[in-house]
Chain A
Amino acid sequence: MQLKDKYKDLMDAAVASGVNNLQVREQDGVLYIDGEAPSGVVKDQLWETYNKLDPDFLSGDVVMNVNVSPSIPGTKVKVTTERSNLNIRKGPGTDQPIVGKAAHHEIVTLVSQSNDQWWLIRTNDGEEGYAYAQYLTPEPN
């Protein structure tokens, strides 16, 4: 079966939910889905749909890189770690020295999203550096 058929519901959901710059490409037996979701909720729904079509994402035939559209610098973001503090580093990478920490559920200011994985943030205490984007969730306005 063609991957575009297997994952048709996912494609349809991406289109219907208003994913921007949506690109769906099949190459060497892998379906690549790229785009920008209008919100984190839409991104979560797409992953729910993906999970239904390929339980626990174990087939390895999809790479879905749908980011939430960049927030405006100055936006408040929440530290959404499991329970621990979030390291703030000098540069984008775990090999970079830690220059500060943001507490679990602390609200910090987004400075730049120029790197997809590492966002530049500033805490209320004025500490500025890079934190892993996975643990940062934009606050609803």
Chain B
Amino acid sequence: MKKIFSALFLLAGAITILSTAAPGCKAKPKDANIKTSIEAALKSDPQTSGLSVDVKEGVATVTGEVKDASVQATVATIVGGIKGVKSVLNNVTVTPPVVITPDDPLTMAVKDATKDFTGITATVKDGIIYVTGELKSADWKKLKMALDGLKPKKVDAAGLKISK
């Protein structure tokens, strides 16, 4: 009987210590630690590695750009699954990747666009339009406007000389 009594006494003591200590020392991860865990999870996938996160009292706010809506939805699942995250504020926006015109139709379109410009040659390779030769500044502006409208990967004018 004495043994049981002392055991009860110890238990009661332990409860008292725990309950008084609890407010000062919560057994849940700190915001900074949660942030680190989320960042590590997002970094592991190239589709989400560019995103940034901020955690305040367990609420995780994710910002940045992804390529489509499915990745955007995955972000909420991944972040929501991290220990200590109470809720997720998904501020991630969807930006579809740039669509580049394939070389064959691009070559045709470049031929149309450059038809009336003399003194230059334009070739297409891997989506890049290479312009070489010499053009007046005003004509080059007109041509560059037209070429940019053909959705190339880039317009390379390293071989172009501009005359006044």
- Which chain A residues have a beta carbon within 8 Å of chain B's beta carbons? 23, 25, 27-28, 30, 32, 47, 51, 56-58, 60-65, 67, 82, 93-95, 116-118, 132, 134
Question: Which residues of chain B come closer than 8 Å to A67, judged between CB atoms?
Answer: 149
The size of the chain B interface, using a CB distance under 8 A, is: 30
- Which chain B residues have a beta carbon within 8 Å of chain A's beta carbons? 95, 97-98, 108-109, 111-113, 115-116, 137, 140-142, 144-146, 148-158, 160, 162
Contact between A93 and B112 (Cβ–Cβ < 8 Å)? yes
| A62, B152: Cα distance in complex, Å | 10
Contact between B162 and A58 (Cβ–Cβ < 8 Å)? yes
Contact residues of B: prevailing secondary structure = mixed
Contact between B155 and A60 (Cβ–Cβ < 8 Å)? yes
With most chain A CB atoms within 10 A of its CB, the pick from B113, B154, B157 is B154
17 A–B pairs (Cβ distance < 8 Å), ordered by A: A23-B95, A25-B98, A30-B154, A51-B141, A57-B144, A57-B155, A60-B158, A63-B148, A63-B151, A63-B152, A63-B155, A65-B148, A67-B149, A93-B108, A117-B112, A118-B112, A134-B145
Contact between A56 and B149 (Cβ–Cβ < 8 Å)? no
Contact between A58 and B157 (Cβ–Cβ < 8 Å)? yes
| A23, B108: Cα distance in complex, Å | 26
Q: Closest 6 A-B residue pairs measured CB to CB?
A: A32-B98, A94-B112, A57-B144, A30-B154, A56-B162, A63-B148
- Beta-carbon nearest neighbor of B160 in chain A: A58
CB distance from B86 to the nearest CB of A (A): 33
Contact between B149 and A30 (Cβ–Cβ < 8 Å)? no
Question: Which residues of chain B come closer than 8 Å to A23, judged between CB atoms?
Answer: 95
Contact between B153 and A134 (Cβ–Cβ < 8 Å)? no
Interface contacts beyond A27-B97, A51-B141: sample of 20 additional A-B pairs, CB < 8 Å, sorted by A: A23-B95, A27-B98, A30-B154, A32-B98, A56-B137, A56-B140, A56-B162, A57-B144, A57-B155, A57-B157, A58-B162, A60-B154, A61-B154, A62-B148, A63-B148, A63-B154, A65-B149, A117-B112, A132-B112, A134-B145
